[in-house]
Structure 1
Amino acid sequence: MRHKWSIARRLFVAHLLFMLALTATVGTATFIDARDHAYDEAGRRMSGIATAIADNPLVLQAAASPDPSAVLQPYALHVMSDADADFITIMAPDRTRWTHPRDEELGKPYIGSIDAALKGQIFTEITAGTLGPSVRTIAPVKDQSGNVKALVAAGVTVRTVDVAVSGRLPALLAIAFALLVGGSVASWLLGRYLRNVTRGWGPEQLAQLFAYYESVLHSVREGVILIDPKGRVVMYNDQAAELLGLTPRPSGADPGDAALLRDLPLAPSLKDLFESGRAAQDEIHLAGPRVLVVNQGPAVGPASSAGRQRPAVFGTVATIRDRTEIESLGSELETMRTLSDALRAQTHEHANRLHTIVSLMELGRADEALDFATKDLELSQQLTDEMVGAMEEPVLSALLMGKAAEAHERGVELGLQANSTAGTAGVAVQDLVTILGNLLDNAIDAAADAPAPKWVELSVESGVRGVDITVEDSGRGIDPGAMDDVFRHGFSTKASGAYGRGLGLALVRQAVHRLGGTVAITNPRGAHFHVFLPAAGTTKETS
C-alpha cells in the first residue's frame, strides 16, 4: 500500500504528523514555561511576604517572649489571609514552629531546609511539607547585632499554583488548535496542488517513468527537442544533438541551465520554426549538409479532473528525422528515371523512323530507305559520341544523355561544352549528379516555358583547381528582387501545388557549400548559374 500512495498523499500525511508533533511539542513547552513562570512569580510573592514579616519588630519582640505563639499565631493567620498565602510559619532557629495554619502542628519541628536562612540569607525552594508540595521562601529575623533570632517561612502549595496555570490552558489549547488547523489546511492545499501536477503518481512511479523516458529519448532514431514558452531549450536527445550540430546534453541535466534558443547555432529556418511555436507536419529544412524533416506541436499537460481548467501548455516539442540519405537515393532514382525517359523517347522516335523505313520499302524505294537509315544512324551515333566523349564519368554521361533526350522531347536544344578530360577532380559523383541534375531541370523548365528559340547551354571544365560548371538558358531569367530567395528552401517560380517544388536549388546550394565551393547567378540573357567546386584537398575559393 505504501508504494501506491501518491506524492500528494504522502506529503499530506507526513505534514499532518509533523504538525501534530509540533503542536504537542509547542503546547508542552508553552505549558511548562507557563508553569515555571507561575512558580517564579509565586516565589517572588512569597519572598516579599516573608521579608516583610521578618522586618516587622513585632516578630523580634515575640521571639524574646516566653510564649511567642500567643502573639505570633494570630498575626500570622491574619497576614496569611490578607496575602493569599497557604501558610506562614514563624519558627525558632532550632526549627520549633511558633505559627502554623494547623494548631496541632505548633511546637513541632519545621520540615524543610533552613541552613541558608540560619546564615542570614533569603532563599526560595519547592519542597513537600505538612500541607504537601509547596513553593516557599525562608527569611531570617535578625537583631541589631545581626544574629538570627527567628525564621519566617511563607509559602503557597503547588496545587494552588497549578490551578492558576490551569486557568491559562484554554488559551494554550486554542493556540495549539489554531496551529494544527492552519498546518492541516496548508498541507491539504499543497497536496492538492501536487496531486494535479504529478497526476496522482507516487515517487516510485515518477522515478520509473523518468527512467523510461530517458531511455526512450536516448535510444530512438529520431531527434526530439523540447522548448519552453520562454524560448529555452529544456531538453534534446542525442540524435537531435547530432542532427542539429549541438553539444550532447547530459542525462538528468537541470532544466534551469537550459540554453536560450537564440544562442544555439541552428539553421535560420529551423530557428524561425522553433521560435514561432506553430504546428508543423513533415516540413523539410536544410541544416548544413543534412536534409531534415521536422514535426512540431504544443507540449500540453493534462486537464483538471473537474474539467473546469484548460490544459496547461508547457511549450513545444519537435521531432526531427534525417532525410539526407533518402534525398540521395531520390537523386539516384531521378537519374534512373531520366535515363528511362530518354530510352522511352528514343524508342518512340526509333519506332517512327522504323515505320518510315518500312513504308519506303513497301513503296519500292529501297535506295531512299537505306540512305535515310544510314543518316539516322550517323546522327544518333554522333550524339552518343559527343556525350560519352565529353565526360569520363559514365554516370554523368548517362545523366547528360537522358537530359538531352528529355530536352529534345520538350523542344529544347541542349548544348554541351566540355574538355575531353573533364573528370570529377575528386568530387563525389553523387554530388555532381545532384548539382547538374537540378540545374539542368530548372534550366530546361525555364527554356520550355519561354518563346523560341529554346535552348540550354551546359559548360563543364575540370582542372587541377576543381570543376567549373556553367548552366545558361533562354528563359525569362530571374527577378532581381528574388536573387536572395532563389536558393531558399520552399521558393519556386512554378505552380504552387507542384510536388517537390522549391527544393532543387536549395539542395544545389547545400551540396556546393558542403564541398567548399561557390555559386553565383546572373541574368545576361536568361538565367546564368556558375558553380565552382574545388578539387579534393584544396582550400575553399573566396567568392
Structure 2
Amino acid sequence: MRTLLKLKLAPKISLLVIMIVLVTITLSISSVGYWSIHHMMNNIEKNVLNVVNITKLSPIIIEGMENPTEKGHNIQQFIEATQAACSDIDIMVVADTEGVRYGHTMKDRVGDFFSAEDHANALKYGETYVSTGPGTLGNSMRAFAPIKNNEGTIIGFVMAGSLLTSISKAKLQIIMIMLLFIAFSISLGLIGAFYVSRTIKRSLLNFEPEDIARLYSENKGILATIKEGIIAIDQDGRITLINKRALELLKWKDQDVLGQNIKEVFPQSKLPDVIHTKEPIYDFQYALNGIIVNSNNIPIINQNKVIGGVSSFRDQTEIIMLSEKVTGVHRIVDSLRATTHEFKNKLHIILGYIESGKHEAAVNYISAVSDDIQNNVSHVLNLVKEPTIAALLIGKINRGHELKIRVRLHDDSYFDNQFGMDANNLVVIIGNLIDNALEHLNLVDQNEKIIDVLLLEEEYRIQMRVSDNGLGIEDVSLAFQKGFTTKDSGLGYGLHLVKENVDKYYGHLDVVSLSGKGTTFTVLFDKGGSSVDSGINR
C-alpha cells in the first residue's frame, strides 16, 4: 500500500482501475459460472427424474413386464425411442424385481442382470430418487423409479441417467467460456485504464494531486496577502472567487455573493465585457463607494473558449501614495498581479475541466488524502449513478465538512435517472435545498449539525428528501416566495427556483418544519402521464 501511494497519478489510476476491474469481473463471472453449473446439474437431475416418472407409468412398460413373452420386445423399442427423444439421457434400463433387464440402451445387454446395487430402495420401498454410481457404461447420475402393476404391486424398476463424462464436458465448456470472458474483460480494462489515466492527466495539465494542492494553497496565500481586490467569475457571469480586500472595497459583509451573477451585485464590473469580447481591459478607472479604483480585467481562455474572467482592482489613492513613498513599487504590484493571474488561470482551467464533466476524477484524487472524504465519495458513487448529481452531492458533502456540518446520503438512496429527467433541473432542486440547509445550520449555535439527503428512484416515482436538525422555519407558507430569505443578505431565489423546477415536471413539493427540531423538504415525481413523462425533453 505504501508503494502504491508513492506512485505518480497516471500509473496509480491505471493500477487501481485494473485491480477493480479484475476483482469485479472475476467475482461476477465466477458467480455466474457457479450458478450455470449448479443450474445445469439441477436440470439434469430433473430430466432423469422426469424420464423415469414418465416411463414407469407407460402401459407398454407395465404390460411388457407382466407378459414378457407377448409384449416384452415392445419395452426395448420404447426405451430406444424415449432415449432418442431425450438428448441429455445417456443410459436407460428397465428390469424386473430380480434385476433381469427387459430394456437397455445397449440392445445386446437385454436379458443380463442389472450390475449396480443402488436400485434396492426402488424395489423395497417404492421410492423414486437420484443417485450417483458406477454402471456398465461408466459412472453416471441416474434416477430410479419403481414399476407397479394395476394392483400396485412392484414388478420392476426403471433407471435413466447421464454419464458423468458428459456432465464433465459440459462443466468444462462453461469454465472455458468463463475464462474467455474474464480474459476479454481484463483486456478491455487494461485499455480503459490506460486511456482514462492519460485523459485525466492531460485534463489536469500533467499536474500531480500534490501539485494541485500546493498551487491551491499558494493561491490562497497570495490572495490573502496582496492588497488588491480580486474577483473571478465563470463563463455565465457567476462569482466563483472573491478575496477579503475585494469585500472591503465593495463594502460587502461576507462571501454570500459567491454563485451570484456579477451584474446583479457589481454592475460597474467590466468582467462581462471581457468575457463577451475575449479581450482584456487594463487600467480601467471608476468610482466605487466614494473612491476611485483602478482595475485590470482579463478573460480566462482554454482552447479558444472563454471559461471565465478575473478582475483585480485597487484604490487609486493608495497607489499614488505608495508610488510617492517607494520608488519602483509598481513593479512589485505588477509582479504580484502577474503571479496572481497565473495561479488564477491554472486554477480556473482545472475548474473548467471539472465543470466540463471531468471533475469526478479530480475530486477522487484530492479526497484520496482523506479517508473520510474517500468513503463519502465511494458511498455517493455506489448509490447515485448520474454523474452530475453524484458530483453535486460530493461537493455539498465537502462543503458541509468545511462548515462542520455533517451532510449524509441515506443508505436507501439509489438513482441512475432511468426516467431521463434533465440533470440540470435536478441540480437546481437538490442543490438549492441542501444549500438552504447548509446556510441555515451555519447560523445555528448547536453541537451537532446534520443534513440527511434521500434520493430514491423507484419503479414509478422519484423521491427526494432533504432534512436538517436546525431551528425550523417560522412561516412555511412564505418559504417559496421569490425574494423570501431568512439571511441578513441574500436574494431569496433558492427555494423559489426549487418550486419552479418541481412545477415544471408536475411534481409535488412538501415541507414540514418543527420549531427547534428542524425542517424536511420532500419532492415527489410520479411516472405516469402527468408527471415525469410530461416533463421530459421540454
Query: TM-score w.r.t. structure 2 length?
Result: 0.47
Structure number with greater Rg is 1
TM-score by length of 1: 0.47
